[in-house]
Structure 1
């Protein structure tokens, strides 16, 4: 794997070293040929390109030297010329059926043998593997899609020439953000996306958001991942102030230049805590706030029945996420997919854990992972050590002010008339121990009555009755909730920015604090 500069340097050395056979893996034939064109100017060796549409051409003069457009005819022409002249290089752009031992691959094999004797070089551009006996005569090189640095050049080449022709509001930071969003797609795909945006006659700040949507369309059907549609108007989370402040800082790192300080992009966050308190909703909120696509990884959906199938599917899912970057990768209830299983004699779970940890540690793409867990005791301890996720947050039951904020949030969302201030204080007191989902359920019961009987039916007594009818999980399973809370207070940052001493019901300073 190589970016453009690494690829160009490696290919230049191979040409100079007269490697007899070079297979180039890339889906961007035109981009590869553009680089070879540059090398032909720098290295004084004859280079010819064969294609099914033009036959064989001299790359420098662009003149056709052989009209036979078939692959067999191109190979015969190469053999004939290599036998007569030294240091010739032939590039074949459309060769099929070279994965196995067949007539085509053996024809090329004979050509390469001839090239070895005369200092020639045969180069094939393909997306497929090459017959092993043929590949052992040479070397393989892969060209990655444009990274952020190269994509910035592509963006500027597309946008800057039009600055005098159409209104363009993008500054240098906007150009960098566009490059960040469009990184890891092909050059032609990026040019098409930008051209589509400029076709309306202007480029505004809002068009940056549109770039994410356009890129997202290219990855609408990703192996192993589920695309989650996010409507910002329907997503809101009350409380969790500490988590939101920390996320605001992380967002800035997505476009910051981290290379000089040898830092990797933000890796993600693990949210643990009481069920129903907004962990999963936070993943959607991050995607909506950051204007990034959201993909959900379901470990259950990638489980296979054959040996190695689950691991391969997981690897493909991570590769797909890297290609879709920048994006949000949501892993809900991660403990269910990576929990240690004493009955797992095949070792599938252990290998999947290892693969996930390796990707989490080594991937350099801007994939921000939001993992949630209810029973964190089932997670492997190596997943919780510092360096895997950027931070571990504990989402506790909402405090008085947080409950008031959440109640107000759902009242506005459901278009309900607010109760009196005295009743509102009673609702806040009644809902002590409620999770966010409990508060939503209570307000929803009021909204249902408003739909059935009209807003005139809504009264303070109805609000109090609906809230009193809710039995929260903190009362039905108090031991389980208390165990979760005790674990979180010792090991995680409070998502609210404050920690709560459950024995005294008082807000106290947390053992760990957020650095803002």
Structure 2
């Protein structure tokens, strides 16, 4: 939703006398702009933590002794100072769990239909709504800047600083790089780039992405992962690789594909035991598509306040869509959604699940979801139905040919000069039931032992010795692997590898 649309929406809420409007945003200047637009000439009062009760326009203190929010609310309410006015409370998340603040806000909300006609704006980058205020509060979420707004901001920065114009292609690159950031963050990064050499050029894109990685990580929910791994580093999974290769053609030619009638790909669920390449596949997918990779930490979505978990989910999805086209990697999906529908499940987890399902079903943005799961035995069946993901693949223990390729990859990474002398075919035959992670562990241990022993090079025998003393995943989780194999078969999941 564009800024003008947000302003229009808030105007309607004010007209309808919704008592508490929660502007969930980091950008206070934009929040002030929205509030001023919706005031209709009403007097606006503001309270903030640093100065207390202040003039909304000048931000100068109005009354002494008003640095405690509960005292300010009590004074304003008791002296009828709020009648017909707008009250703005900044950074409310620091004070909203105070029982006196909750009580005062509730009192004011209840009086709105008895002639008080006061609208309260809560402004904060953190969404916290106590259960007592849930029914009186309306959340206003402000979207990230669109491409037109970002381009306009860049051009304005160039004009103000009297910089040479940049090419249309470079402007497009900067615009793409800035997607998902706030106006404040973009201005800061542009200023940093400008301070380096007094100009804006293609080299500055490195600064943009370096800062962007950091800013997204600070959200605590999403993390932007550098694109390092490719499918060349994954042994096997040929069926999955081919399927993803076809999807990459759609993503790289999105406009043409849509005109042709192709639906925007939703994503893929990859299931299987740990250490079989699921996470590496997610990273390689973004590399193949040539788009950013975002990792969603499902565990960090859960909040303690009413609506906080759902708000975190909306925030993560909104950011991913703002950055799109991108790959959204949801690792270990079962940690968030296992057991949904069971009697012991929490209402919050069920609501999160419902929100995620709806988004997956209805999403129109080029956000390609790569979800991974180790154990799907407790995942709700709704998640596995057609229409949620484009396809579901299962990753099994690698075949003999795949194990050979995995040995070649890991030995080649560390001891390329020894690779020709090592009998990888023999090693592959001796490691039936080993996962990719098991094989990597064997190679790393063999190389370390050869180094400690002072050997000039690593031999086949060195690696075979380590294999003899290794218990593979198939032995440790024998019953679990058998159970999951039945689930894959019963649900007609596609094998990631060619058998």
Structure 1 length-normalised TM = 0.65
Query: Per-residue deviation at 1:213?
Result: 0.7
User: Which runs of no fewer than 5 residues in structure 2 stay unpaired?
Assistant: 67-71
Given that residues 101 and 131 in structure 1 are in contact (C-alpha distance below 8 angstroms), is that contact kept between their aligned partners in structure 2?
no
Secondary structure of the residue aligned to 1:209 is helix
Query: Per-residue deviation at 1:410?
Result: 0.8
Matched, 1:143 2:137: no
- Among 104, 125, 132, the residue aligned to 2:121: 125
CA distance in 2, matches of 1:479, 1:80: 70
Alignment of 1:75-474 (within 5 A): 90-94=85-89, 99-102=101-104, 122-127=118-123, 142-147=139-144, 150-161=145-156, 162=158, 165=163, 168=166, 171=170, 173-175=172-174, 177-178=176-177, 180-182=179-181, 186-200=182-196, 201-204=199-202, 205-207=205-207, 209-220=209-220, 222=221, 232=228, 236-244=233-241, 246-247=243-244, 249=247, 268-283=267-282, 285=284, 290-298=291-299, 315=310, 318-319=313-314, 321-322=316-317, 325=320, 328-332=328-332, 334=334, 338-339=338-339, 347-349=343-345, 351=347, 354-363=350-359, 370-415=370-415, 417-420=417-420, 423-467=423-467, 470=470, 472-474=472-474
Secondary structure of the residue aligned to 1:294 is strand
Alpha-carbon distance change, 25 to 410 in structure 1, aligned in 2, over 3 angstroms = same
Query: Per-residue deviation at 1:377?
Result: 3.6
Matched length:
452
CA distance in 2, matches of 1:462, 1:132: 63
Alpha-carbon distance change, 338 to 478 in structure 1, aligned in 2, over 3 angstroms = closer
Secondary structure of the residue aligned to 1:349 is coil
Secondary structure of the residue aligned to 1:270 is strand
Which shows bigger deviation, 363-372 or 410-419?
363-372
Query: Per-residue deviation at 1:36?
Result: 5.2
Query: Per-residue deviation at 1:134?
Result: 11
Given that residues 403 and 428 in structure 1 are in contact (C-alpha distance below 8 angstroms), is that contact kept between their aligned partners in structure 2?
yes
Query: Per-residue deviation at 1:189?
Result: 3.8
- Which structure's CA Rg is the greater one? 1
Query: Per-residue deviation at 1:273?
Result: 2.7
Partner of 2:493: 492
CA distance in 2, matches of 1:263, 1:142: 35
Secondary structure of the residue aligned to 1:376 is coil
CA distance in 1, matches of 2:286, 2:216: 13
Structure 2 length-normalised TM = 0.67
**Two-structure CA RMSD over aligned residues (Å):** 5.4
CA distance in 2, matches of 1:132, 1:437: 46
Which shows bigger deviation, 447-456 or 348-357?
348-357
CA distance in 1, matches of 2:419, 2:54: 80
Q: Over residues 157-216 of structure 1, what are the superposed CA-to-partner deviations in whole Å (9 max), with x where a residue is unaligned?
A: 33123287268575465355335432xxx5434443444444434353445533531322
Q: Over residues 422-443 of structure 1, what are the superposed CA-to-partner deviations in whole Å (9 max), with x where a residue is unaligned?
A: 8233333444443212321331
Alignment of 1:22-61 (within 5 A): 23-26=20-23, 27=25, 28-35=27-34, 46-51=41-46
CA distance in 2, matches of 1:293, 1:153: 23
Secondary structure of the residue aligned to 1:458 is coil
Q: Over residues 212-257 of structure 1, what are the superposed CA-to-partner deviations in whole Å (9 max), with x where a residue is unaligned?
A: 313224314x5xx8x7987947994333344345556369759968
Secondary structure of the residue aligned to 1:456 is coil
